[in-house]
Amino acid sequence: MINKDIKIIISTGVCSTLLFSFICLFFSKLCALLCLVLGIVIMSVCLYFTKKRYDKLSELNDYLSLVCSGNYDLNIASNTEGELSILQNNLYKVIILLKTQNELLAKDKVYLADSLADVSHQLKTPLTSMMVMTDLMKNEKDEQKNKEFLEIIENQLDKMRWLIQNLLKVSKLDAGTVAFKSEQVSAADVITESLKPFLVTLDLKQISLINTADDFTFTGDKNWTVEALGNIVKNCLEHTDKNGTLEIFTECTNVYNSIFIKDNGCGIAKEDLPHIFERFYHGKNSSGESVGIGLALARMVAEKEKASIIAESTENVGTQFEFRFYKAII
């Protein structure tokens, strides 16, 4: 089917050529002939380039139809010059972007499915335990045993509450809805605040706390830093046996200031160490209390604050975490 614009070019070219040829006929037959030939040549050239342009547009339209159908494996990049080539290259960039976004969405779907499965598993365990305790309490007349069952249920509820709260925090960080403060924070205050929730655990497990940290200030968000450091402390306590040791100290250099948290627990296997900051990851030495979300949250907070967390560990010797705060370069 002939395009409307091409019809207009043909009609205009034919009319103009005939008109000028007729006018030139009054002067000379040769002049009229030359005018006719020149008009045909010009019209042919215009038709050639116009058709070529429309063929390229038609080709791009076909490409876009394929992209709309989900086929992103197209290479329409052009090395030629011209407006259509610029349009073609820009379309190619958009296709590459769409392909990348589509791959990320596919990965997110898989990750979401895996995360939901992990969350379901983490919630299923304490729920099952509470259901068992509830059934036992129905037929148990011993008040002391019922009291023990209630304590178990309370512990399981605390575990579920902690998991849900941290999942909500992680989702907020993922969504970018958290506005981190940029304030001068005291390292000593952060250490004190992060230890408060675990003083009872330290006492019950008779773990010796050796805090030789010197104070320094860094730029960050105090509450979120306390959250991150607290999760590291929690991880250390979960993997340290009774009568163990938890050591906290600091180090200051010209480039960064660091808070170190060191335990003498079971340690982390060499093959597990690169993965401990991944969500819901469980290594071979993971404790029964571990849900695999605390260290992931700590790493996310550190990244938001332009800080870093470094872990070193030796099995049956212990683990050391370094929370490193970089100084501003003036």
Q: Hey, where are the domains in the chain?
A: 4-99, 108-175, 183-326
Same fold, 108-175 and 183-326: no
Average model confidence (pLDDT) across the chain: 80
CATH topology of domain 183-326: Heat Shock Protein 90 (3.30.565)
User: Hey, which residues does 263 pair with through a beta bridge?
Assistant: 246
Average the pLDDT over 99-123 and give the result. Answer: 74
Contact, 323 vs 277, CB < 8 A? no
pLDDT score at 30? 65
CA dist 93 and 98 (Å) reads 9
User: Hey, which residues does 248 pair with through a beta bridge?
Assistant: 211, 261
pLDDT score at 1? 45
Residue 277 DSSP label: T
Entry pTM:
0.64
Contact, 206 vs 242, CB < 8 A? yes
Average the pLDDT over 106-118 and give the result. Answer: 72
Q: Which CATH architecture does the domain made up of 108-175 adopt? A: Orthogonal Bundle (1.10)
pLDDT score at 169? 84
What does R_g of the chain's alpha carbons equal in angstroms?
A: 36
